[in-house]
Chains A and B, each alone.
Chain A
Amino acid sequence: MASIVSYLKSSILSKVVMAATGVVLVAFLSGHMLGNTQMYLGQDKMNHYAETLQSLGVALWLIRGFIFLSVVLHIVTSINLKIINMRARPVAYVQKNWVKATIFSRTMLWTGVMIGLFVTYHIMHFTLGTTNPGSFHLTDAAGRHDVYTVVLLGYQNVAISAVYIAAMILLGFHLAHAISSAFQTLGVNHPKYTGIIETGSALVSLVIVCGFISVPLGVLLGFIKPVAVLAAGGM
């Protein structure tokens, strides 16, 4: 055990763990976001997708375990780094000004904490159904878990949608610094590619965030409609 966590004593190894687990989480977020957009394809497609994921069985739990491990390492390492970094400056500046550092890069820990809290709520909401037991165990006409309607009912609540949208904006803040930063930490910095990496990272962050936000917004604006409305041929 001691040797497994001894990386925490090295600044660069800790940074590499932050970057590597971050890469896993960005890959997961991209997949999750693409899955969510199936809400636009209607109840059948969405529920079929959810059922396919569930039918993976052991593989699903392996993937979940891998993502969970990444999250734990990401959090533990960041807390450890924060302690090292706070210790490194015992006396603060009376006056501090920033020349180049962005708001995104300076607030990573706090956006991270907010995202962590949000993810806990999100799992209770859509994975466990703890916050919404009455409307969580719905089934569709084919007898599948009606994920489509569960999500729709969730987002029809303006307050819940607002929480999701706000959390995704914070995620955008986090990713705006995180993605290009991971390249630098892993040693990828080259005059020929740094520009592309920075633009590409900003774009990927934007696409992930917009993709996620588009679903609650789609529900609120009526682009994603309840099954009853669709069945009645309504708009």
Chain B
Amino acid sequence: MKLTLHIWRQKSAKEKGAMATYQVDHISPDMSFLEMLDTLNEQLILNSEEPVAFDHDCREGICGACALTVNGVPHGPEAQTTICQLHMRKFNDGDALYVEPWRARAFPVVKDLVVDRSAFDRIMAAGGFVSAHTGGVPDANAILIGKDAADKAMDYAACIGCGACVAACKNSSAMLFVGAKISQYAHLPQGQPERKRRALAMVAKMDEEGFGACTNLYECEAVCPKGISVAGIALMNRDFLRAKLTYVETKTGGA
């Protein structure tokens, strides 16, 4: 296959970026999209040009590192597939592809297609955890959890934190991500002790990081490589409102 690639090149966070056009030949339809970019980079290195920087790690769709939009769709045209798992046979010989980074103020570009997603880590640090026993290993099944509750929690826990939801959103909103994290704990007994505090803290952090506000386009759900449902956003809204109305912070420890 032969392709024309329009790729966002940006030297650093400080500098302005622009699209650059490259031709790549000898693309095998069995390559993944990232292997195709590897091929381009080999070509660039041979020509003594700067290779295109892009994020990747597992290349098997489970780590959430890979992140780029192809023709304006995060992770490209295949539903519920990360870009590392997307094969070139999904494209046609002679295609012109636009490859861009996630675009959000909260995800500043580090270089080319690499963005800094540590805003997600800070949201998690604000409330994406449960309190756990220290000491002896607890019995695995000491707390009974119904199969449907466990399944729902798993569906939300499938989020790999790639940020495609933010990238797809008209408003660069992180509500699918935060909704997924809040919902994953909300469905489990272990998530109950911090439930209200978590909703308030994670949402406040999300706002503070400069993500936009959801306008219910559901574009996030459509591009999510893990198919996370926007029902998680509704649950987050419910939990947040309930906490806003009823949560009282205790200043000192109980006595």
Binding site for B on A (CB under 8 A): 9-16, 81, 84-85, 87-102, 105-106, 108, 177, 181, 184-191, 194
Contact = CB atoms under 8 A, between A and B. Distances in A.
B6 A105 contact: no
Contacts of A191: 231
B72 A95 contact: yes
Given A10-B203, A85-B171, A186-B237, A94 B8 contact: yes
Contact of A95 (B71, B105, B230): B71
Given A81-B213, A85-B215, A108-B215, 4 more contacts: A88-B211, A99-B223, A185-B234, A190-B231
A74 to B, nearest CB: 14
Contacts of B214: 11, 15
16 contacts: A12-B237, A12-B240, A16-B237, A81-B213, A87-B210, A88-B105, A91-B17, A97-B71, A101-B217, A101-B218, A106-B217, A184-B230, A184-B237, A187-B237, A189-B231, A189-B234
B241 interface: yes
Contacts of A92: 103
A94 B237 contact: no
B100 A95 contact: yes
A150 to B, nearest CB: 38
Q: On chain B, which size bracket covers the interface? A: 35 or more
Interface of B: 6, 8, 17, 19, 69, 71-73, 98, 100, 103-106, 168, 170-173, 175, 203-204, 206-207, 210-219, 221-223, 230-231, 233-238, 240-241, 244
B6 A94 contact: yes
Contacts, number: 128
Contacts of B221: 100
A94 B168 CA distance: 13
A144 to B, nearest CB: 45
Given A99-B219, A99-B223, A88 B173 contact: yes
Given A14-B213, A184-B216, A99 B168 contact: yes
A69 to B, nearest CB: 21
A90 B108 CA distance: 10
Contacts of A95: 6, 71-72, 98, 100
A173 to B, nearest CB: 14
B68 to A, nearest CB: 12
Nearest to B213: A11
Contacts of A105: 215-218
Contact of A15 (B19, B206, B213): B213
Contact of B219 (A12, A13, A100): A100
B234 to A, nearest CB: 3
Nearest to A13: B244
Q: Which residue among A88, A93, A106 has the maximum number of chain B CB atoms within 10 Å of its CB?
A: A88
B207 A85 contact: no
A106 B98 CA distance: 22
Nearest to B17: A91
A189 B240 CA distance: 15
A94 B171 contact: no
A71 B175 CA distance: 26
Nearest to B233: A184
A89 B172 contact: yes
Given A16-B241, A187-B235, A10 B207 contact: yes
B100 A93 contact: yes
Nearest to B171: A85
B203 A12 contact: yes
